[in-house]
Structure 1
Amino acid sequence: MKLIQREIVYKGKIFDVAEDTIEIDKDKVTKWDLVLHNGATAIVPITEEGEVILVKQYRNASNREVLEIPAGKLEKGEDPLTCALRELEEETGYRATHIHKLCAMFSAIGFSDEKLHLFIATQLKKGQQHLDEDEYITIEKYPLHEARDMIFSGEIEDSKTIVGILSACYFLNK
């Protein structure tokens, strides 16, 4: 298989949508839609008490508030670590003394090229939130093992948060 042509059919503020023409084999060609995204970062902040800091915000895809780890979109050419540290402080008010990359993943590889870089942050220092004009976020803290259990009870459904919490548990041997 190979990409023959890409046509941008929608240009948006956060992502674009392309219609790709894909050659399956010499005799077969098909069209696929693809969401084009600059990528993002997400960070699992862990307090000295072993609590994970989650943000609660409204998401229109679920039409309700959801619990998530802090995250944000990469600017074109931006270093993922720089973005993760910025989003941590903007959304939670915390700064991290120690940060480690956990992994990188495609958030929805079946229809998007968004690559998400996941970090864990420890040795946190409390500061002040710097929310965007359109952000309404509250902060909640949970013991890491409780947050892990919230995944399996269905209270946490966001994919980056699920991968982030489980990766943090693995990384911290919890």
Structure 2
Amino acid sequence: MTENPWKTKAIQKIYENPWITVENHDIINPAGKDGIYGKVHFKNRAMAIIPIDEEGYTWLIGQFRYTLDEYSWEIPMGGGPIELDMLESAKRELKEETGLTAQKWTEILKIHTSNSVTDEVGYVYLAQDLKQGETEFEETEILQIKKLHFSEALEMVMNGEITDSISVAGILKAARIFGF
């Protein structure tokens, strides 16, 4: 069934900050019964980048994630305002976090990060023909940069060292593209 079986009766904004809005939806569910649904609306689109050089090396970013209360290894990523071009946002994010610029860009994945509670959409790009420059970290970022062969990043996904959903999906998709 591709037609929406949910009916929205009312939406109430519960909370808002510069990045998200939290809403309470009064709904009629697919069984025809009254119910509620919580939704987190993101004001940015997520974008992630897998930089890969001609020898098959890539870069990961390590950082402490406040919401998880743990350290996380990820592909370079960030948010881009919905009204801006996603590729331009991806180029900015790659430069900020790794210092890299790329001449070749390929979108390889569109992903819904948690479609049960949020409308967040993410995109993953391959960045190739790389040139190293200086990083431009944001004030909230204390990042480690790790250069490793792509096969090692894939192994980190497979053994549970990389758990971020966009990173996992992007690395697995890139592995399929490159035949790993």
Q: Shorter-chain TM-score category?
A: over 0.9
Q: CA RMSD in A?
A: 1.4
**Corresponding residue for 2:20?**
15
The reply to whether residue 75 of structure 1 matches residue 91 of structure 2 is no
Secondary structure at 1:166 match in 2? helix
Match of 2:127 among 121, 132, 135: 121
Q: For 1:105 and 1:4, how far apart are their aligned partners in 2? A: 28
SS in 1 for 2:81: coil
What do the CA deviations read for 1:79-129 (whole angstroms, capped 9, x no partner)? 111111110001110001111000111101010100001111111100111
CA distance in 1, matches of 2:45, 2:59: 22
CA deviation map 1:115-156 (0-9, x unaligned): 001111111100111111111111101211111111121111
Letter in 2 for 1:43: I
| Amino acid in structure 2 at the alignment position of 1:55 | I
AA of the residue aligned to 2:57 = E
Pick which of 19-28 and 63-72 moved more: 19-28
What residue identity is the alignment partner of 1:21? D
Q: Which residue of 2 aligns with 1:93?
A: 99
The answer for unaligned runs of 5 or more in structure 2 is: 1-5
Q: Which residue of 1 aligns with 2:177?
A: 171
Q: Which of these residues, 9, 15, 23, is aligned with residue 4 of structure 1?
A: 9
Could you say which residue in structure 2 is the equivalent of 1:32?
Answer: 37
What is the number of equivalent residue pairs in this alignment?
A: 174
Does 2:147 correspond to 1:141?
yes
Report how far residue 51 of structure 1 moved.
Answer: 1.2
Letter in 2 for 1:116: G
> What is the distance in 1 between the residues matched to 2:179 and 2:87?
23
In structure 2, do the counterparts of structure 1 residues 140 and 5 end up closer, same or farther at CA, with 3 Å as the change threshold?
same
Give the superposition deviation at 1:72: 1.0
Residue in 2 that maps onto 1:132: 138
Structure 1 unaligned spans of 5+: none
1:42, 1:55 → 2: CA distance?
Answer: 11
